Amino acid sequence: MKTIYVLAEHRQQRLRDTTWDALAAGRDLAQKTGAELACLLLGSGVDAMADQLAKECPKVIVVDDPRLANFNSEPFVKALSGLLAGRDSYVLVIGNSNSIIDLAPGLSVALDAALATDCIGFEVDGGKLKALRQIYSYKINALVSFKDATRIVATLRSGFFSFAPSGAGPGAIEKVASPLGDEPLRKRFLSYVEAEKGDVDIASADIIVAIGRGIGDEEDLSMFESLADAMGGVVACSRPIVDKGLLPKYRQVGTSGVEVKPKVYLALGISGAFQHLGGIKGNPLIVAVNKDPRAPIFRAAQYGIVGNLADVVPALEEKIKELKG
Partner 1 sequence: MDIIVCVKRVPDTSETDLAIDKGGKDIQKGDLDYDINDWDRFAVEEAVLIKEKAGGKVTMVTVGDEDAEEMLREGLARGADEAFLLSDESFEGSDGYVTASILAAFLKQRSYDLVLTGTLADDDCGGQLGGMLAAMLGVPVATLVHKVDVKDGTVAVTRELEAGLSETLDIDLPAVVSVATGINEPRFVSIRAVRKVASIEIPTVDREELGLDEAAVGSAGAKVEIETVFLPPEGEGAEIIAGSPVDAAVRLAEILKEKGGIA
Please pick, from the candidates 91, 118, 253, 260, the single residue that binds partner 1 as defined by CB under 8 A. 118
- Closer of 146 and 224 to partner 1 (Cβ): 146
Does position 109 interact with partner 1 (CB under 8 A)? The reply is: yes
- Where is 280: in which H helix or E strand? none
Of the candidate spans 37-45, 55-63, 83-91, 205-213, the one that interacts with partner 1 by CB under 8 A turns out to be 205-213
Please pick, from the candidates 23, 231, 235, 260, the single residue that binds partner 1 as defined by CB under 8 A. 231
Q: How far apart are CA 131 and CA 12, in angstroms?
A: 31
- Residues 170-189 touching partner 1, rule: CB under 8 A, are 186-189
What burial class does residue 303 get, using C-beta atoms within 10 Å of its C-beta: 0-12 exposed, 13-18 middle, 19+ buried?
exposed
Q: How near is the Cβ of 79 to partner 1 at its closest, in Å?
A: 14
> With CB under 8 A, what is the number of residues at the site for partner 1?
107
- Residues 23-62 touching partner 1, rule: CB under 8 A, are none
Does position 103 interact with partner 1 (CB under 8 A)? The reply is: yes
- Residues 267-296 touching partner 1, rule: CB under 8 A, are 271, 285-289, 291-294, 296
Q: How near is the Cβ of 213 to partner 1 at its closest, in Å?
A: 6
Q: How near is the Cβ of 264 to partner 1 at its closest, in Å?
A: 4
- Closer of 24 and 116 to partner 1 (Cβ): 116
Does position 19 interact with partner 1 (CB under 8 A)? The reply is: no
Q: Are 75 and 63 in contact (CB under 8 A)?
A: no
Helix (H, G, I), strand (E, B) or coil at 244: coil
Does position 142 interact with partner 1 (CB under 8 A)? The reply is: yes
Q: How far apart are CA 215 and CA 254, in angstroms?
A: 18
Does position 316 interact with partner 1 (CB under 8 A)? The reply is: yes
Please state whether beta strands 36-43 and 3-7 pair in parallel, antiparallel, or not at all (unpaired): parallel
Does position 323 interact with partner 1 (CB under 8 A)? The reply is: yes
Q: How far apart are CA 22 and CA 28, in angstroms?
A: 10
Does position 75 interact with partner 1 (CB under 8 A)? The reply is: no
What count of other Cβ atoms lies within 10 Å of the Cβ of residue 314?
13
Does position 245 interact with partner 1 (CB under 8 A)? The reply is: yes
Q: Are 238 and 273 in contact (CB under 8 A)?
A: yes
Of the candidate spans 48-56, 58-66, 173-181, 190-198, the one that interacts with partner 1 by CB under 8 A turns out to be 190-198
- Closer of 144 and 176 to partner 1 (Cβ): 144
- Closer of 145 and 166 to partner 1 (Cβ): 145
User: What does the DSSP assignment read for 39-108?
Assistant: EEEEESS-HHHHHHHHTT-SEEEEEE-GGGSS--HHHHHHHHHHHHTT--SEEEEEE--HHHHTTHHHHH
Please pick, from the candidates 42, 84, 116, 253, the single residue that binds partner 1 as defined by CB under 8 A. 116
Please pick, from the candidates 86, 126, 148, 183, the single residue that binds partner 1 as defined by CB under 8 A. 148
Does position 162 interact with partner 1 (CB under 8 A)? The reply is: no
Give the contact letters, 121-140, x = binds to partner 1 (CB under 8 A), - = no: ---------x--xxxxxxxx
Please pick, from the candidates 108, 129, 161, 277, the single residue that binds partner 1 as defined by CB under 8 A. 108
* Sign of torsion over alpha carbons 205, 209, 212, 215: negative
Does position 70 interact with partner 1 (CB under 8 A)? The reply is: yes
* Sign of torsion over alpha carbons 261, 262, 263, 267: negative
Amino acid at 125: D
Q: How far apart are CA 253 and CA 218, in angstroms?
A: 20
DSSP 206: S
